[in-house]
Amino acid sequence: MKRIKSKREIVIVVGAGPVGIAAAANLVERGLTPIVLERGLNAGHAMEKWGHIKLFTPWKFLVDKSVLKLLAKTSWKHPEREHLPTGKEIVDEYLKPAALDTQLSEHIIYDAKVISISKKNLSKSSSLNRDEAEYSVKFRDSHGVIHTSYAAAVIDATGTWFSPNPIGVDGLPVAGEIENSDLIHYGIPDASGRDQESFLGKRTLVLGGGHSAINITLDILKLRETSSDTKLIWGLRKNNIDKLLGGGINDKLPARGALGMAAKKAIDEGDLELFAPFVIEKLVRVENTLEVHAVVDSLKRVFTVDNIVVTTGFRPNLEMLRELRLDVDHIVEAPTKLAPLIDPNLHSCGSVRPHGVNELTHYDKNFFIVGMKAYGRAPTFLMLTGYEQVRSITAFLAGDFESANTVELTLPSTGVCSTKKVKKETSSCCAPKASSPGCC
């Protein structure tokens, strides 16, 4: 690896979410020059899509130290540290002030959708002087005009929100999914707010076995107070309901434990139909409803629903990086050195030892994927992890190798985790006597 040659050289940050803004703040603090390319009209554009959701994590674990230093020079006040904010609160009370009221404002370009990142005048197969070549970043503005910026380094903090997993258990859309997408919601729709009309008095299938599924399930159940015709089916791909709901009071993130207990209560009281394992084979349109042809615990079943909510996770969009030489794990699609630490086949809690530039390096030097996207298809991520990633990377780019290789990370532990195999020398929240902080 090599640092950039001059502090006057540009570092492009793609994405102005929490980790992208933290990257920019760290770069400024190090005397480097960031250009942040954000596809939305404001910082936190992707977070606004799930702005109604309350996080499990309090404010004290959601802010970056370098961003705080910039905000301290303004009239900004730190939110109550133990408060659990919604996504919208994070955008309005943290990201927008950081992006608009500090010196970061001169470094952010909005309405800039990045379409490709490559080495200047070099394809993936071209090796001559590759390490010395600048990065070429092409982005499209709202008028369809394509612009090109050049940089000595690139930090991809685009996240995964706009790349949801499809319905199929094989990672592909099931028959009828694409053509009936108008009746399918991906992610976490605002069932009690702006999207209420889609669910009130209707029958909905929620597909997924994580806390996002619990969130939307409980929101739809609340609508029964307004209309008893509101019906809900919850389908889990795997019969892992006990693991999902079993944290309870043992979960060190209390809001997450409470969420699980509330869902369990709804199941026990018969307000929610739960099927597991639940595998959809095809969808058939019948006027404004969908026939869901599924296999439930080895038996073929057909359900008629008004809409489907798919909360089966997300995956990184690597298309814009096609001409780069990436070092990406073939299973998790995370950087190869990071992947074994977060592989969901081994970990359910996302426990991972603190990591930085060394675990996030690719074959093309000075290119990094950070934040949620760095976790690839692994489902669990904490903002503090992303902040530590960009702190280490920016230290390296500035030539402070000692700081880059010194880990500065503390994570809250949780009681909901498991692993099939834990090596004796590995510290994690899943190990019986873990000495390191646990997972988010």
Q: Please check whether residue 108 is in contact with residue 99, taking contact to mean a CB–CB distance below 8 angstroms.
A: yes
Closest CA relative to residue 63, chosen from 42, 35, 89, 39: 89
Query: In angstroms, what CA-CA distances link 396 with 24, 100, 368, 392, 409?
Result: 14, 27, 12, 6, 17
pLDDT single digits (tens) 131-180: 999 999 999 999 999 999 999 999 999 999 999 999 999 999 999 999 99
When mean pLDDT is compared over 14-23, 213-222, 409-418, the highest value belongs to 14-23
Closest CA relative to residue 329, chosen from 367, 356, 366, 362: 362
pLDDT single digits (tens) 329-381: 999 999 999 998 888 777 554 456 678 999 999 999 999 999 999 999 988 78
pLDDT band for 413, please (50, 70, 90 cuts): low
Query: In angstroms, what CA-CA distances link 304 with 112, 220, 294?
Result: 41, 17, 11
Q: Which CATH superfamily is domain 181-310 in?
A: FAD/NAD(P)-binding domain (3.50.50.60)
- As a whole number, the mean pLDDT across the chain is 86
For the chain, percent of residues with pLDDT exceeding 90: 67
Contacts of residue 240, Cβ cutoff 8 Å, sequence gap at least 6: 209, 276
Phi, psi of 10 (to 5 degrees): -90, 140
Segment (H or E) for 90:
helix 87-90
pLDDT of residue 410: 63
Closest CA relative to residue 142, chosen from 44, 39, 49, 37: 39
pLDDT of residue 213: 84
Range 118-127 average pLDDT = 97
Closest CA relative to residue 387, chosen from 13, 5, 19, 6: 19
The C-alpha atoms of residue 76 and residue 79 are separated, in whole angstroms, by 9
The pTM assigned to this predicted structure is 0.86
- Measured torsion, CA atoms of residues 54, 56, 59, 62, in degrees rounded to the nearest 10: -100
Query: In angstroms, what CA-CA distances link 377 with 125, 243, 316?
Result: 27, 20, 7
The C-alpha atoms of residue 354 and residue 388 are separated, in whole angstroms, by 8
Fold of 10-162+314-404: FAD/NAD(P)-binding domain (3.50.50)
- For helices 211-222 and 254-268, angle between their N-to-C axes, nearest 10 degrees: 60
The tokens for 262 are: 């509330």
Q: Is 323 exposed, middle or buried (0-12, 13-18, 19+ CB in 10 A)?
A: middle
Is 90 exceeded by the pLDDT of residue 395?
Answer: yes
pLDDT single digits (tens) 51-90: 999 888 899 999 999 999 999 999 999 999 999 999 999 9
User: Where are the CATH 3.50.50.60 domain residues in the chain?
Assistant: 10-162+314-404, 181-310
